[in-house]
Each structure stands twice: as C-alpha cells, then as structure tokens.
Amino acid sequence: MIKAIFFDMGGVLLPLHLDKCIEAYRNIAGFKDVDKYLDPCHQRGIFLDMEAGRIGMAQFIEECLRHCTPGTTPETILRCHDQFFGTPAPEDVALVKELGQKYDIFLLSNNNELSMTLHIPNFERAGLPLDKTFKKMFLSHEMKLLKPDPEIYRLAIEGSGHKAQECLFIDDSLANVDGALAAGMHAVLYRPQTDNLRILITDTLNQLNA
C-alpha cells in the first residue's frame, strides 16, 4: 500500500524550456558556450557544482559572470536562468493538492539555490506554496547528493518516515527512476510530451493499491 508520493520538480511539476534558457544566456548575457553546461536532467561544470551543493549561488554567479559579456549583472543571470522554467499547470496544481489529502507528499529533486530562489515565488503564484504543500523537500544542493546516487534515495526514504515499498516516486529521467527502483521504492517514468500526469499517477496508484 502506497503511503507517500515523491515528486521530481523540473520536468514533472515544472515545464522545462532549455532552448529558451540557452538563448537568453547567449543573447542577453553573452554566455556563448552555455549549452556545454545546461541539460534538462543532469548539469555540467559550474551548473553541476551548484546543483551538487559544492558551490553556493553567490559563487556560481561570480563564476558565471566570467563567461559573460563585461557589465553583465547578477540580476541578468537570474533573469536568464528564469527562462529555463515554466509555470506549474493548474491541472497539476489541483492533482498535487488532491493527493496531499490522501498521501504524504514530498519533493525529491536535483536542484540548486539559484533555481529555488525562482521556484518559491513561481509555485506561490500558482497556488501551490512549497513550504505548505510538501511535508519535506529533499534537494540535491542541500543534501550534497545527486540522483541517481543510491544514498539520496535512502536518506529521502528514511526522512519520510515510511518504508521504501510504501513510497512512489515520479521523475522524467529514466536513470533517476531506475535509481529509485534499486532503492526499493516504486517508481514511474513521466514523459512530459506524451503522458498525462493525472492519468499516469492515478493508474499507477490503482495498480499498486489493488
């Protein structure tokens, strides 16, 4: 019986617009080779270091500016980075709220301090405040671990207060889904361009709770 649901953030609850973000960094900030660092699921270089908690937002911005046109400001970096993310869809907001009435819901996300600075007001505006919606957020930059490292799943399961077999995890990365399965969780791959999130989760829960 499922008692807890873990959501990935980007690609599941937040639409990702990688091309728009790369274009903004290139054309607004002058970061010409930014495509070498940015990826929908797994970043590289300074972006990876920030996501893994090896550097904070201030150091990231300082390093990022070295790649940018002279005179680029930290505010410009934030504006460019914000192009990566869409807004939570109303139907997904409603789904998460409904699930929260029946299950303990958590976030388990490869994320970073800069993105969270943008996500918190984004989710608030969408009617899904992060601090009130999720029982706990397991974020890579705070845990200094990245999915699919087995330890991040172990700590998330332990922190949820539930057994692994009582947990369902939803992610848009097959590697991350496989990592959750290896940790003993139930897990399902969400394909943003193909799947309906409500149908996917409802059907999965019906099968697991039958």
**CA separation for the pair 146, 110 (Å, rounded):** 6
Task: Tell me the pLDDT band of 43, cut-offs 50, 70 and 90.
Answer: confident
- Phi, psi values for residue 167, rounded to 5°: -110, 135
Q: Does position 105 have pLDDT exceeding 90, yes or no?
A: yes
Range(s) of the chain covered by CATH 3.40.50.1000: 4-15+87-208
Mean pLDDT in residue range 83-111: 97
Mean pLDDT of 97-126: 97
Was domain 18-82 assigned CATH 1.10.150.240?
Answer: yes
Condensed to tens digits (0 to 9), the pLDDT of residues 4-28 reads 999 999 999 999 999 999 999 999 9
Long-range contacts of 194-199 (CB under 8 A, 24+ apart): 197/12, 197/91, 197/92, 197/95, 197/170, 198/91, 198/92, 198/95
Comma-separated ranges of CATH 1.10.150.240 domains in the chain = 18-82
Per-residue confidence at 119, pLDDT binned at 50, 70, 90? very high
The pTM assigned to this predicted structure is: 0.95
31 Cα distance to chain centroid: 23
Q: How confident is the model at residue 191 (pLDDT cuts 50, 70, 90)?
A: very high
For residue 210, name the pLDDT band (cuts at 50, 70, 90).
Answer: confident
In CATH, what is the architecture of 4-15+87-208? 3-Layer(aba) Sandwich (3.40)
Segment 171-188 mean pLDDT: 97
Mean pLDDT of all residues in the chain?
Answer: 96
